[in-house]
Amino acid sequence: MKTKRILKHFALCYLLSAFCLSSHAQGTAFTYQGRLNDGATRATGSYDLTFAVFTDSNGVNQVGSTLTNTATVITNGLFTSVLDFGPGIFTGPPLWLQIGVETNGGGGSFTALAPLQQLTPAPYAIYSSGAGSAVSANGVAAGSVTGAGIAGSSVVKSLNNLQDAVTLAPGANVTITPSGNTLTIASSGGGGGGSNNWSLTGNSGTTAGVDFLGTTDNQPLELHINGTLAFRLVPGYYGNPNVVGGWQNSVGPYADAVTIAGGYGNSASGTAATVGGGYANTANGNYATLGGGIGNYANGTYATMCGGQNNSVAGQHAAVGGGSDNQAGNEYSTVAGGYQNINYGIGAFIGGGGYDGTTFAGNMANGNATTVGGGLGNIAGNTYATVGGGYGNQATGLGSFVGGGGYDGTSYIGNTASGAAATVAGGLGNQATALWATVGGGHGNICGFVEATIGGGYGNIINNPGQAATIGGGAGNLISGFGATIGGGFENTNSGAYATVSGGAYNRASGPGSFVGGGGYDGTSYSGNTASGQASTVAGGLGNLAGSYYATVGGGESNNCSGEYATIPGGYNNQAKGTGSFAAGQSATANDNNSFIWGDGSRAGVSQGVNSFSVLATGGAWFFSGAYPAGVKLLANGTQWISISDRNAKKNIVPVDCQAVLEKLAAIPIQQWNYKWEKDSDVPNIGPMAQDFKHAFYPGRDDKGIGTLEFDGVELAAIQGLNQKLNEKDAEIQDLKQSVADLKKLVQSLAEKK
């Protein structure tokens, strides 16, 4: 310990030896007891001390020599020294003792302790051998005290075992008469009559304001018990009496209207200050109140110290309820209790705490109107800041709040709310470092931008410019986008303004307004999804990318949707590169704008052009248009559509007049034409008009188109009608051929006959 660090001391001086009226000198040495603090700690060790006596409390006019006591042993702050300043020092006037201290063998570098200690009357017993008045008379025999020997003395203050009446010499005007248990003190001569007698068994006929027991000069009135001072009424600096009860308690030189109710070694020097009791307490503040305890200080005006040990109240209107080593150092500050709590904020409050049964770590309230409810090692360090409790928490932002937490049963890591109006509700090692930032709980979360919120979880971070961003929970999630959201999950990142990652693992949303629903883990592998395009979406899956404006991937694995407005509903290893393109299935690539492709995974499939519809279906394709099995199909490796023609699927079957069909078909105009959307230079089409065809064969049906089944049926019927006609013609031709042959034979026969 360095003597320069000694902040305060409290010293008590008492005369421990007993004195009696005797013609023999008792010596000039007396014993001094005191207590020495090193800062807020009681000193222990070996010290060198110096002692000097002054006639003034400010250290002016030294009397006698300076004493040096080397190697004085101090234990738990307490020490005892025998002092002998020689004769002629204690002659009546008030004196003050100055003490210097240094560590043993410090080379003479003594530090003077302040304030000087007023020596109480006990040391003046040294003066008793030649005093003009007796302080105590014990066992005085009859006839052994004469008036001549004590002429002109002041009143004898205590008489024990007095065997007969003693009348003082002329001028004293006092007669003291014992009678059984009654001691009668009466004035005589010019001092008045018997009406001034006071009885030990009570008095009557007194007049308020006139009759009193006390002094009329500026000297203390003392009451002793068993020869020991127990109660004093001491004149105050402004004339108001100081009331001092108890043992070895004292008031300062400027004390006025001070009350010390009892206890031991207490002192008070502030106007109207009060000490209720206890040991070694000090009330120096004006109107300060100190209830009791040990080693407490109430130095602030209107300060209140209820009790406890080694507590200090220095602020005006400040209060300490109890506990140990607490400080309320600013006006209206309060420490309700606990251990080593320090309150330096105006109007600040510490409820208690500072010790958990194992660890000592006091709380601090440094900001004005701050609050620390309790806990261990917490700090409320800015105006209106609050720490509810917990361990090692800090609310250092203006109006910030930490509810508690800081310990999880294994680790001690306090929470911090350093942003203005920031909040950390609890958890472990969380930080809310920006204006209005909030962390609900969890462990190691950092909410670092304005209006951002982290609900909980572990190791989640919101950075600039993540204003109004939100992380619900999870672990290792990171936001740096304005208004962005991560619901939870693991190691997700969101840097897009107003973008969202609902959950999953290792997912990324970087496009403004982009969305990743989840995914990124399939039970074995981790491969996060990415939505980097503006307003892009990846609903889930593994390793998917929506990399352009309004691109969408529904799920699946390793799909890449890089075209604007493109869509991949799911599947595996599909790519939608064209604007508005669509790729589905497996290993399908839509390279062309507005193209559609389905891949069956048998091989890589590629779209067949802009606005194309491509399907890779090596197992065949079926299109059902209504009630099963209505529709068409394309068989595996087939090159044609097959319509259902099963007899079991048909009804209302009747024969057809094929020749009539042929005649109707023959009557329908067949023309060459182009569609209106075709160029005039395009190859023309040949065929009937739907209106003519439907009117001839299917009246009442839609006449804007001709179905292949309709056309095929008409064609087949017409072919059969044509075939019937051909058969008829063949028969007719055969008949004609036979007739011709017959004619040839006849002609031949006629020719031969010639």
For residue 395, which of 407, 414, 381, 375 has the smallest C-alpha distance? 381
Could you tell me if 288 and 303 are in contact, meaning their C-beta atoms sit under 8 angstroms apart?
Answer: yes
Clarify whether residues 172 and 241 are in a common domain: no
Clarify whether residues 670 and 712 are in a common domain: yes
| 575 part of a folded domain | no
Clarify whether residues 248 and 294 are in a common domain: yes
| 97 part of a folded domain | yes
The set of residues, in sequence order, having a beta carbon less than 8 Å from that of 576 and lying 6+ positions away, is 551, 560, 561, 562, 563, 566, 567, 568, 582, 583, 589, 590
pLDDT at 389: 97
Could you tell me if 79 and 71 are in contact, meaning their C-beta atoms sit under 8 angstroms apart?
Answer: no
pTM score, two decimals? 0.68
| 85 part of a folded domain | yes
Phi, psi of 120 (to 5 degrees): -75, 170
Phi, psi of 321 (to 5 degrees): -75, -35
Clarify whether residues 55 and 162 are in a common domain: no
Clarify whether residues 228 and 300 are in a common domain: yes
Could you tell me if 258 and 236 are in contact, meaning their C-beta atoms sit under 8 angstroms apart?
Answer: yes
Helix H or strand E segment including 714: helix 708-753
| 534 part of a folded domain | no
| 559 part of a folded domain | no
Place of tokens 């970087």: 510
Q: Indicate the number of domains in the chain.
A: 5
Could you tell me if 435 and 420 are in contact, meaning their C-beta atoms sit under 8 angstroms apart?
Answer: yes
The set of residues, in sequence order, having a beta carbon less than 8 Å from that of 289 and lying 6+ positions away, is 273, 274, 276, 283, 298, 303, 304, 305
**Strand 45-54 to 62-74 pairing:** antiparallel
pLDDT at 388: 97
pLDDT at 153: 38
Give the whole-angstrom CA distance, residue 285 versus residue 632: 104
C-alpha pair distances (Å), 337 with each of 141, 308, 322, 334: 58, 8, 5, 9
| 388 part of a folded domain | no
For residue 90, which of 118, 49, 58 has the smallest C-alpha distance? 118
Domain membership of residue 244 as a residue range? 217-322
The CA radius of gyration of the chain, in Å to the nearest whole number, is 57
Clarify whether residues 633 and 677 are in a common domain: no
Could you tell me if 377 and 365 are in contact, meaning their C-beta atoms sit under 8 angstroms apart?
Answer: no
| 235 part of a folded domain | yes
**Can you read off the two tokens belonging to residue 191?**
């001092």
b/e map 616-638, b = 16+ CB within 10 Å: beeeebeeeeeeeeeebbbeeee
pLDDT mean by block of 10 residues, the chain; 754 residues: 35 30 53 79 87 88 87 83 84 85 83 83 49 46 45 40 45 52 48 56 82 84 90 92 94 94 95 97 96 97 97 97 97 97 97 94 96 97 97 97 96 97 98 98 97 98 96 98 98 98 98 98 96 98 98 98 98 98 98 97 95 95 87 91 89 93 93 94 95 93 91 92 91 91 88 80
Tell me how far apart the terminal alpha carbons of the chain are, to the nearest angstrom: 173
| 711 part of a folded domain | yes
Could you tell me if 316 and 310 are in contact, meaning their C-beta atoms sit under 8 angstroms apart?
Answer: no
Helix H or strand E segment including 598: strand 596-606
The CA-CA-CA angle for residues 338, 340, 346, to 5°, reads 90
Clarify whether residues 78 and 12 are in a common domain: yes
Question: Judging by beta carbons within 10 Å of its beta carbon (0-12, 13-18, 19+), is residue 706 exposed, middle or buried?
Answer: buried
Place of tokens 């003594």: 110
Clarify whether residues 624 and 669 are in a common domain: no
Could you tell me if 318 and 331 are in contact, meaning their C-beta atoms sit under 8 angstroms apart?
Answer: yes
Clarify whether residues 666 and 642 are in a common domain: no
Other residues' Cβ atoms within 10 Å of the Cβ of residue 556: 24
Clarify whether residues 679 and 722 are in a common domain: yes
For residue 319, which of 272, 294, 271, 307 has the smallest C-alpha distance? 307
Per DSSP (E only), the strands in 39-119 are: 41-42, 45-54, 62-74, 78-84, 96-103, 111-112, 117-118
Of how many residues is the chain composed?
A: 754
SS3 content of the chain, % helix, strand, coil (to 5): 10, 30, 55
Clarify whether residues 629 and 681 are in a common domain: no
Question: Judging by beta carbons within 10 Å of its beta carbon (0-12, 13-18, 19+), is residue 20 exposed, middle or buried?
Answer: middle
Clarify whether residues 177 and 227 are in a common domain: no
Q: Cα–chain-centroid distance for residue 411?
A: 16
For residue 257, which of 274, 240, 269 has the smallest C-alpha distance? 240
Could you tell me if 416 and 433 are in contact, meaning their C-beta atoms sit under 8 angstroms apart?
Answer: yes
